[in-house]
């Protein structure tokens, strides 16, 4: 339902701009003209794209929860789309699109996007119980899975039951616990953890259920498809069993670098423009050096110096402590820089140099890498690709405030390594843009 609402919103944007553009060309303009052969055709497409991007950025139609939030988001997207076209028109000194089309679209867009948000909301409410999950595995696996499904799954699901492996094996009386539990709980997905997959009688029951049309998933696959991560308990088993984009698809790696360069060059403009603003703010409320430099571990274990605007009070011990949300070392001005992600802008220089990619696992400090590598033999797989300014772990989890958080984020990093491609990179960039605009990231 949410996907249908999203598609409906985008089709509506196209239909609204198309309809008003043709109406203006045929009946509103003082001199009728052929819309599809004029330069306005191209700018109409640009306006459609601006509205679609703005809609996604503010969370329409699927992330708004109330009518009020849907109204606010709809108005924001309409203003952003119309504003973008208006700014371009002012810069070029030319009426690229008629005001009738620009403002008429904005007016029609608001109720349409609210209607799509309502459809997405009804789908979200009915979809929360769509996937009813029965897990066969250890109690720890069940506890962890239930907790994960309560957070931010990629697909909504509910854990309706759990069977320990010892209780899942059939008895001599013909009782088949897994099949009976699935039927009684009306489960739509059966998940088997690593221990359950090793028991032949459990797998045989799963095979019978599969013939009935039930979806069967190993725990690692369920985590990937429903949660967008790899479970820590399964990492050791799968860490060597997949290809990594930057290593095994040379064309992808080259295209990614080619796309990174113009983004970095474009990002140098706000970098240069922000320096005077940040320097003035530091004089008032953040005394100390303008930049913060820190050693990080990059691709192939190569160390480099990451560059940021400083947001904390100068502290020689800061490099050895985890940074957390609400960290009392962050100054008021620094908090504002973090809130708007301005402190990250200098990393465009690191991208330009090739230290960072735009998208990839976030680079860690050498002493953290050393600690985690000692505890997790597969941790260094993160360093087979370029680290990134943003990444899947950042948009799904946010800050790593301690070692446990770092291990949690590693599960998302492995999902990225396993599925690394341009489509996922674009998805991460879109979510990052949404997070920055909504100021919900970090």
Clarify whether residues 395 and 270 are in a common domain: yes
Q: Are residues 107 and 200 in the same domain?
A: no
**Structural domain harbouring 303:** 245-438
Q: Is residue 223 part of a domain?
A: yes
415 and 314 in a common domain: yes
Give the pLDDT score at 82: 92
Q: Within a domain: residue 232?
A: no
113 within some domain: yes
Q: How far apart, in whole angstroms, are the C-alpha atoms of residue 435 and residue 429?
A: 10
My answer on whether 274 and 290 are in the same domain is yes
Among the listed residues 398, 286, 299, 294, the one whose alpha carbon sits nearest the alpha carbon of residue 333 = 286
Q: Is residue 371 part of a domain?
A: yes
If one counts every other C-beta atom within 10 angstroms of the C-beta of residue 40, the result is: 21
Structural domains in the chain (count): 3
Count CA atoms closer than 13 A to 94's CA, side-chain side.
5
Please tell me whether residues 115 and 143 are part of one structural domain. no
Please check whether residues 167 and 119 belong to one and the same domain. no
Please check whether residues 261 and 310 belong to one and the same domain.
yes
Tell me if 426 is assigned to some domain: yes
Q: Are 347 and 425 in contact (CB under 8 A)?
A: no
Q: What is the pLDDT along the chain (442 residues), one digit of tens a residue?
A: 778 898 999 999 999 999 999 999 999 988 899 988 888 999 999 999 999 989 988 888 888 878 888 999 999 999 999 998 888 888 888 878 999 999 999 999 999 999 999 988 776 555 545 799 999 999 999 999 999 998 878 888 999 999 999 999 997 777 899 999 999 999 999 999 989 999 999 999 999 999 999 999 999 899 999 999 988 766 666 655 677 888 888 789 899 999 999 999 999 999 999 999 999 999 999 999 999 999 999 999 999 999 999 999 887 655 556 666 667 889 999 999 998 899 999 999 999 999 999 999 999 999 989 988 888 767 888 999 999 999 999 999 877 767 788 888 888 998 999 899 999 999 999 888 888 876 544 4
CA–CA gap between residue 335 and residue 332 (Å, rounded): 5
Shared domain for 325 and 369, answered yes or no, is yes
Q: Are residues 249 and 204 in the same domain?
A: no
Residue 441 has a pLDDT of 44
Residues 280 and 394 in one domain: yes
* Judgement on whether residues 285 and 161 belong to the same structural domain of the protein: no
| 6 within a domain of the structure (yes/no) | yes
Closest to 326 in 3D by CA, of 255, 382, 399: 399
């Amino acid at each position: 339902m949410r996907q249908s609402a999203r598609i409906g919103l985008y089709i509506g944007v196209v239909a609204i701009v198309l309809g008003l553009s043709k109406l203006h060309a045929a009946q509103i303009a003082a001199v009728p003209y052929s819309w599809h052969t004029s330069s306005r055709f191209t700018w109409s497409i640009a306006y459609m794209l601006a509205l679609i991007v703005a809609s996604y950025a503010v969370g329409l139609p699927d992330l708004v929860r109330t009518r009020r939030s849907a109204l606010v988001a709809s108005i924001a997207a309409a203003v952003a789309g119309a504003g973008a076209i208006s700014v371009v028109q002012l810069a070029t000194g030319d009426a690229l699109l008629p005001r009738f089309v620009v403002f008429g679209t904005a007016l029609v867009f608001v109720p349409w996007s609210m209607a799509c948000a309502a459809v997405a909301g009804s789908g979200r409410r009915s979809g929360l119980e769509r996937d009813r999950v029965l897990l066969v595995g250890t109690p720890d696996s069940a506890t962890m899975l239930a907790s994960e499904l309560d957070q931010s799954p990629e697909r909504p699901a509910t854990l309706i039951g759990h069977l320990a492996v010892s209780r899942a094996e059939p008895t001599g009386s013909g009782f088949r616990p897994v099949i009976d539990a699935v039927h009684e709980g009306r489960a739509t997905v059966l998940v088997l953890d690593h221990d359950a997959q090793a028991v032949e009688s459990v797998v045989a029951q799963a095979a019978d259920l599969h013939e009935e049309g039930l979806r069967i998933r190993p725990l690692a696959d369920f985590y990937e498809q429903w949660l967008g991560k790899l479970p820590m308990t399964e990492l050791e088993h799968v860490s060597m069993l997949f290809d990594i984009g930057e290593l095994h698809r040379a064309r992808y790696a080259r295209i990614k670098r080619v796309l990174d360069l113009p983004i970095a060059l474009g990002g140098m403009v706000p970098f240069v423009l922000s320096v005077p603003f940040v320097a003035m703010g530091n004089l008032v409320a953040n005394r100390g050096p303008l930049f913060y430099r820190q050693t990080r571990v990059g691709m192939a274990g190569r160390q480099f110096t990451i560059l940021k605007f400083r947001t904390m009070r100068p502290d020689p011990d800061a490099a050895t402590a985890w940074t957390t949300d609400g960290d009392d070392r962050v100054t008021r001005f620094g908090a504002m820089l973090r809130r708007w992600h301005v402190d990250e802008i200098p990393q465009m220089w690191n991208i330009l140099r090739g230290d960072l990619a735009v998208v990839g696992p976030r680079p860690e400090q050498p002493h953290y890498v050393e600690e985690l590598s000692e505890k997790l033999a597969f941790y260094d797989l993160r360093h087979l690709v370029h680290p990134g300014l943003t990444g899947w772990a950042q948009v799904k989890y946010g800050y790593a405030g301690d070692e446990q958080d770092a291990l949690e984020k590693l599960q998302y990093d492995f999902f990225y390594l396993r599925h690394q491609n341009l489509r996922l990179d674009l998805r991460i960039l879109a979510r990052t843009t949404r997070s920055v605009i909504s100021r919900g990231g970090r």
